[in-house]
Structure 1
Amino acid sequence: MPPAPAPSRILPVIVFSQFAGTSLWFAGNAVLPELQASLQLQEGALSLLTSAVQLGFIIGTLCFAFFSLADRMSPRLLFLLCALLGAAANALVLFSATSVAGVLLLRGITGFLLAGIYPVGMKIAASWYSGRLGKAIGYLVGALVLGTAFPHLLRGLGASLPLQSMLLGISSLSALGGVLMYLLVPDGPYHSKGTRFDLTNMLKVFRVREFRAAAFGYFGHMWELYAFWAFVPYILAHSFPHLPQGQLSIYSFWVIGAGALGCVGGGYLSQRQGSGRVAFGQLLLSGLCCLLSAWVLQLPALLLPFLLFWGMVVAGDSPQFSALAAKTAPPQLVGTALTVVTSIGFAITIGSIQLTGFLLTLLPPHLVFVPLAIGPVIGLRAMRLLLKKESGSLL
Structure 2
Amino acid sequence: MTTNASSVPGIILPAIVVSQFAGTSLWFAGNAVLPELQQVMHLQNEALALLTSAVQLGFIAGTFFFAFFSIADRISPRLLFLLCALLGAGANALILPLAQNLTGVLLLRTLTGFLLAGIYPVGMKIAAGWYSKGLGRAIGYLVGALVLGTAFPHLLRAFDGVLPWRMLLLTVSALAAAGGLAMYLLVPDGPYLKKAARFEAYNMLLAFRNNAFRRAALGYFGHMWELYTLWAFTPFIIAFALPQLAPGEVSLWSFSVIAAGAVGCVGGGYLSQRYGSGEVAFWQLLLSGLCCLLAVVVLQVSSEVLVLLFLLCWGVVVAGDSPQLSTLTAQTAPAHLVGTALTVVISIGFAVTIISIQLMAFLLTRFPPYAVLPVLAIGPALGLLSLRHLRVAKR
Mapped to 2, the partners of 1:274 and 1:363 lie a distance apart of 40
Pair 1:325-2:329 in alignment? yes
One-letter amino acid of the counterpart of residue 3, structure 1 = T
Match for residue 15 of structure 1 among 14, 17, 23: 17
Mapped to 1, the partners of 2:289 and 2:185 lie a distance apart of 42
Q: Which residue of 2 aligns with 1:96?
A: 98
Q: Which residue of 2 aligns with 1:241?
A: 243
**Normalising by structure 2, what TM-score?**
0.97
Q: Which residue of 2 aligns with 1:136?
A: 138
CA contact (8 A) 2:279 2:392 kept: no
Q: Which residue of 2 aligns with 1:348?
A: 352
Mapped to 2, the partners of 1:194 and 1:141 lie a distance apart of 25
Shift in Å, 1:43: 2.8
One-letter amino acid of the counterpart of residue 52, structure 1 = A
Q: Which residue of 2 aligns with 1:265?
A: 267
Mapped to 1, the partners of 2:220 and 2:3 lie a distance apart of 30
One-letter amino acid of the counterpart of residue 277, structure 2 = S
Alignment of structure 1 residues 333-372 onto 2, 5 Å: 333-372=337-376
Q: Which residue of 2 aligns with 1:194?
A: 196
Shift in Å, 1:390: 4.6
* Secondary structure in 2 matching 1:48: helix
Match for residue 383 of structure 1 among 372, 384, 387: 387
Mapped to 2, the partners of 1:227 and 1:363 lie a distance apart of 16
Mapped to 2, the partners of 1:194 and 1:183 lie a distance apart of 21
* Secondary structure in 1 matching 2:94: helix
* Secondary structure in 2 matching 1:294: helix
**Equivalent residues, number:** 391
Q: Which residue of 2 aligns with 1:308?
A: 312
Shift in Å, 1:322: 0.6
Q: Name the % identity.
A: 68
Shift in Å, 1:364: 3.2
Mapped to 1, the partners of 2:159 and 2:392 lie a distance apart of 47
Q: Which residue of 1 aligns with 2:45?
A: 43
Q: Which residue of 1 aligns with 2:206?
A: 204
Mapped to 2, the partners of 1:228 and 1:168 lie a distance apart of 29
Deviations 1:238-273 (A, max 9, x none): 112122100111111111111010101101111111
Q: Which residue of 1 aligns with 2:2?
A: 2
CA contact (8 A) 2:278 2:392 kept: no
Mapped to 2, the partners of 1:32 and 1:239 lie a distance apart of 24
Mapped to 2, the partners of 1:274 and 1:319 lie a distance apart of 12
Mapped to 1, the partners of 2:366 and 2:380 lie a distance apart of 23
One-letter amino acid of the counterpart of residue 126, structure 2 = I
Shift in Å, 1:50: 1.4
Q: Which residue of 1 aligns with 2:67?
A: 65
Using the TM superposition, name which of 160-169 and 13-22 deviates more: 160-169
Alignment of structure 1 residues 283-302 onto 2, 5 Å: 283-301=285-303, 302=306
Mapped to 1, the partners of 2:106 and 2:85 lie a distance apart of 19
Deviations 1:360-382 (A, max 9, x none): 13333311100110000100000
Deviations 1:153-207 (A, max 9, x none): 1111224422321111111111111111111111100001131000000110101
Alignment of structure 1 residues 53-132 onto 2, 5 Å: 53-132=55-134
CA contact (8 A) 2:130 2:192 kept: yes
* Secondary structure in 1 matching 2:385: helix
Shift in Å, 1:236: 0.8
Mapped to 2, the partners of 1:361 and 1:23 lie a distance apart of 31
Deviations 1:307-361 (A, max 9, x none): 0000100000000001110111000000000000000000000111111111113
Shift in Å, 1:90: 0.6
One-letter amino acid of the counterpart of residue 383, structure 2 = G
Mapped to 2, the partners of 1:293 and 1:357 lie a distance apart of 17
One-letter amino acid of the counterpart of residue 132, structure 2 = S
Unaligned runs of 5+ in 1: none
Deviations 1:201-249 (A, max 9, x none): 0110101111111100000000000111111111111112122100111
Mapped to 1, the partners of 2:52 and 2:115 lie a distance apart of 15
One-letter amino acid of the counterpart of residue 313, structure 1 = V
Unaligned runs of 5+ in 2: none
Shift in Å, 1:147: 0.9
CA contact (8 A) 2:147 2:262 kept: yes
* Secondary structure in 2 matching 1:97: coil
* Secondary structure in 2 matching 1:241: coil
Mapped to 1, the partners of 2:171 and 2:241 lie a distance apart of 36
One-letter amino acid of the counterpart of residue 92, structure 1 = L
Using the TM superposition, name which of 162-171 and 120-129 deviates more: 162-171
Q: Which residue of 2 aligns with 1:256?
A: 258
Mapped to 2, the partners of 1:109 and 1:368 lie a distance apart of 33
Shift in Å, 1:388: 4.4
- Quote the RMSD (CA, aligned, Å): 1.2
